[in-house]
Amino acid sequence: MADRPVFSIVVPAYNEELVVGEAYGRLKGTMDAMGEPYEIVFVNDGSRDLTCPIIESICAGDPNVRLIDLSRNFGHQIAITAGMDKARGDAVVVIDCDLQDPPGVIPLMAGKWREGYDVVYGKRIKRKGEGFLKRLTSKAFYRLMRRMTEVDIPVDVGDFRLIDRKVCEAMGTVRERSRYIRGLISWVGFRQTFVEFERDARFAGETKYPFRKMVKLALNGITSFSYKPLKIATYFGTLLSFAGFAYLLVVLYQRLFTDSVIQGWASILIVNLLFNGITLILLGIIGEYIGRIHDEVKGRPLYVIMKETNMGDG
């Protein structure tokens, strides 16, 4: 590539053989129309289908397309990180391969960037092709995150966004493993704004974020940016201790000053089970934080690249 790109488009892809060709076509059409040097950086996140060979064939015919092929599936957030690490543009756009985030929004983001904003994120005003439960849980998650953290993480916003080169470099210094990219970008700061858009239904294939992965992403987001769950554990522990002490006083009073027979072994068993269950939940919350500390101190790289295509400096 002769010219340094103005725009780098980072596209994580995992088992997207039905979509990747169409995604490339739409991105190329959008970027060609903008008339400035660009690169499209596909990150193959350990796909088990034909995603990687398809991207390689695209690279062979278009020097503006680059491929980072990871050695295994490291996860969506890590794949985005790998693409951002290798992107060379003055502005970096992160967009998923499934075409739910329309490439036609990129020129609007670029316009805001040229006005002086360092981060321009896409804000969804409508989500097509998603069921009521998915929309409800997503809405609840974003608002829970906003209340749980001290970082101003915008609601109804995914990873689709444009960031300036200096923001990308700042993100390169943040190497924590349990990554929540949209939260980290908010954390590093800089001047931020948004453009609104309607999110389309997936072009083809199936979602790569089933309920289990959504829960994991939510846990990463909450534990990365909030200590409130640990505070909740402290509050619950204190409450249970006071409740137990109060019950002890009641038992002693009945034993010493009344003739009533202490009954209700079933109710005592229920209370014990309830308190033990709460205790295990609180231990689980603490365990989530300890597990993340364990991952961080090992110091392993975030990802391993198996091969690269069209990654020369030109």
pLDDT in tens, 25-35: 999 999 999 98
Task: Tell me how far apart the alpha carbons of residues 41 and 83 are, in angstroms, rounded to a whole number.
Answer: 6
- Contact indicator for 213, 137 with CB cutoff of 8 Å: no
Task: Tell me how far apart the alpha carbons of residues 140 and 156 are, in angstroms, rounded to a whole number.
Answer: 10
pTM over 0.85: no
In three-state secondary structure terms, 15 is coil
Task: Tell me how far apart the alpha carbons of residues 220 and 208 are, in angstroms, rounded to a whole number.
Answer: 17
Record the tokens describing residue 51, joined without a space: 């995603």
Check residue 40 and give its pLDDT: 95
Task: Tell me how far apart the alpha carbons of residues 110 and 35 are, in angstroms, rounded to a whole number.
Answer: 12
Sorted by sequence, the CB contacts under 8 Å of residue 234 that are 6+ apart come out as none
Sorted by sequence, the CB contacts under 8 Å of residue 161 that are 6+ apart come out as 93, 94, 109, 119, 120, 121, 122, 182, 185
Check residue 123 and give its pLDDT: 85
Give 10-residue mean pLDDT values along the chain (314 residues). 81 91 93 92 92 92 93 91 92 91 91 93 74 64 66 75 93 84 84 83 55 64 66 70 68 67 59 70 76 76 88 60
Query: Tens digits of per-residue pLDDT, 118-165?
Result: 999 888 887 665 566 666 666 666 666 666 666 677 766 788 999 999
Strands 119-127 and 192-199 turn out to be parallel
HSE (CB half, 13 Å, CA atoms) of 82?
32
Check residue 1 and give its pLDDT: 44
Task: Tell me how far apart the alpha carbons of residues 211 and 37 are, in angstroms, rounded to a whole number.
Answer: 39
Distance of CA 13 to the CA centre of its chain: 15
Task: Tell me how far apart the alpha carbons of residues 268 and 208 are, in angstroms, rounded to a whole number.
Answer: 46
- Contact indicator for 89, 10 with CB cutoff of 8 Å: no
Angle between helices 132-148 and 211-225 (to 10 degrees): 10
Task: Tell me how far apart the alpha carbons of residues 14 and 42 are, in angstroms, rounded to a whole number.
Answer: 10
CA distances to 19, 52, 118, 208, 310 from 100, rounded to whole Å, are 11, 21, 24, 12, 27
Record the tokens describing residue 189, joined without a space: 């700061």
Task: Tell me how far apart the alpha carbons of residues 107 and 54 are, in angstroms, rounded to a whole number.
Answer: 26
Task: Tell me how far apart the alpha carbons of residues 292 and 299 are, in angstroms, rounded to a whole number.
Answer: 12
